[in-house]
């Protein structure tokens, strides 16, 4: 039995049975606690990837475990034909804590963005606008999901290849370019959709004032402002939502997922007053959306993400990681730029190392640190929001060894 559960056996079984759309590392994780993971061979890692910003409160959080086990012992599923307390309470708490008038629950970020696309187009239809006046503007470098609509909204051609013909009605604009956006928005535009911090596109934040400019254009042209906070929300930047770093922003739609249920699949669309009635009975749905167990976990996660102590920790640990990256870069010259906010950080490789972010990830793994990429030339860090000073310091020490080995070639 032990041989059947070895790393080699499990990896071989995965290679044999998985559809080959992923390229997993030959590591099999077994359990985690706090900021640390252990594989089936007993090797320990400090997790600075958090399942791509999903395990934002670390592994084995007692509040999440208690909520999940308690709800699982009562009811796993009932469908949206009925009400369930944990889902109703979560909706109430999200409305009370945010701009939203109403909430739609689903299972993932792609589904949340798909629903947002339908909401803004349905809103335009209800306002008497024809199909040619339901254009959605998105931005180069964006990532909004893998369904046909959301991959089309993702303005990166590499994700489109082989899936044509793509749905129509999307226009792409350079990110952080107010003049280009002003030229693009017009009578055909029903919404502008963007990430306040582009994640897969290289961890690139919107420049100060850009969101306000977009909002002003949307109001002028009676379009809706849609913010994709799937990766940047839930306290990741040091505020509950990343858009809150710019004063005066009042979105019409915000999408959430990843950390929303602390490790369980859940997405949500928060809808403000202007579009709160766009989806009427029968216009959209999700069999598992608002699952009671995921909702119970999300109630805990939402409270954690809004905690002043946790948000202060995000700021402090984000500063510590940025200080480390800048210090080691001053010596080794690995990076062209370190950017991001809070605990979503990207380090873009210098020209001499372009395209080698994957190799740097492997070097970090060899030292027992899990980090990610955001494209072939950007190292991405998404540590747990509650990471301790001790684990941040140990992660920096391990990464420094990895960086030195990588630079030595």
Render pLDDT for 347-383 as a digit per residue (tens, 0 to 9).
999 999 999 999 999 999 999 999 999 999 999 999 9
Alpha carbon of 155 to those of 115, 132, 403: distances in Å? 18, 20, 32
CA distance 384 to 75: 29
Q: What is the pLDDT of residues 63-106, one digit of tens each?
A: 999 999 999 999 999 999 999 999 999 999 999 999 999 999 99
pTM of the model: 0.96
pLDDT tier at 1, thresholds 50, 70, 90: very low
pLDDT for res 270: 98
Question: Strand pairing partners for 198?
Answer: 204
Quote the percentage of the chain above a pLDDT of 70. Answer: 100
- Mean pLDDT (whole number) for 173-187: 97
- Asked whether residue 204 carries a pLDDT value surpassing 90, the answer given is yes
pLDDT for res 2: 60
Sequence-separated (6 or more) residues with CB below 8 Å from residue 243: 196, 211, 227, 229, 249, 251, 254
CA distance 80 to 248: 35
Tokens of 354: 């372009």
| Domain architecture of the chain: domains with CATH | 3-60+308-408 (3.90.1150.10), 75-305 (3.40.640.10)
pLDDT for res 159: 94
Q: Which of 252, 268, 330, 274 is nearest to 302 (CA)?
A: 268
Tokens of 153: 């909204």
Dump the DSSP string for 250-273.
--SEEEE-GGGGBTB--EEEEE-G
């Amino acid at each position: 039995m032990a041989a059947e559960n070895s790393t080699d056996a499990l990896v071989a079984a995965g290679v044999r049975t998985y559809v080959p759309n992923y390229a997993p590392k030959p590591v099999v994780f077994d359990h985690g606690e706090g900021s640390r993971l252990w594989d089936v061979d007993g090797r320990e890692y400090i997790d600075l990837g958090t399942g791509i910003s999903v395990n934002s409160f670390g592994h084995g959080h007692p509040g999440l475990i208690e909520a999940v086990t308690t709800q699982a012992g009562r009811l796993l599923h009932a469908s949206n034909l009925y009400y369930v307390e944990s889902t109703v309470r979560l909706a109430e708490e999200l409305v009370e804590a945010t701009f939203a008038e109403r909430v739609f629950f689903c299972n993932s970020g792609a589904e949340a963005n798909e629903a947002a696309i339908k909401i803004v187009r349905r809103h335009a239809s209800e306002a008497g606008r024809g199909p040619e006046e339901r254009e959605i503007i998105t931005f180069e470098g964006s990532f909004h999901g893998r369904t046909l609509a959301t991959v089309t909204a993702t303005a990166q051609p590499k994700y489109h290849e082989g899936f044509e013909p793509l749905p129509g009605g999307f226009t792409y604009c350079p990110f952080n370019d107010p003049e280009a956006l002003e030229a693009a928005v017009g009578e055909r535009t029903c919404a502008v959709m963007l990430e306040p911090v582009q994640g897969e596109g290289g961890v690139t934040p919107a420049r100060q004032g850009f969101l306000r400019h977009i909002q002003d254009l949307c109001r002028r042209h009676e379009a809706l402002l849609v913010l994709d906070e799937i990766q940047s929300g839930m306290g990741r930047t040091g505020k509950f939502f990343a858009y809150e770093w710019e004063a005066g922003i009042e979105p019409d739609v915000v999408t959430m997922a990843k950390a929303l249920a602390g490790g369980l699949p859940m997405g949500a669309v928060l809808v403000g007053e202007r579009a709160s009635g766009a989806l009427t009975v029968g216009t959209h749905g999700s069999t598992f959306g608002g699952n009671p167990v995921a909702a119970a976990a999300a109630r805990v996660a939402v409270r954690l993400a809004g905690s002043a102590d946790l948000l202060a920790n995000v700021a402090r640990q984000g500063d510590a990681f940025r200080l480390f990256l800048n210090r080691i870069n001053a010596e080794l010259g690995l990076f062209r730029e370190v950017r991001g906010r809070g605990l979503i950080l990207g380090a873009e490789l210098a020209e001499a190392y372009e395209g080698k972010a994957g190799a740097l990830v492997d070097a970090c793994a060899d030292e027992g640190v899990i980090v990610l990429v955001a494209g072939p030339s950007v190292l991405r860090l998404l540590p747990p929001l509650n990471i301790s000073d001790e684990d941040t310091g140990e992660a920096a020490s391990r990464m420094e060894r990895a960086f030195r080995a990588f630079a030595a070639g």
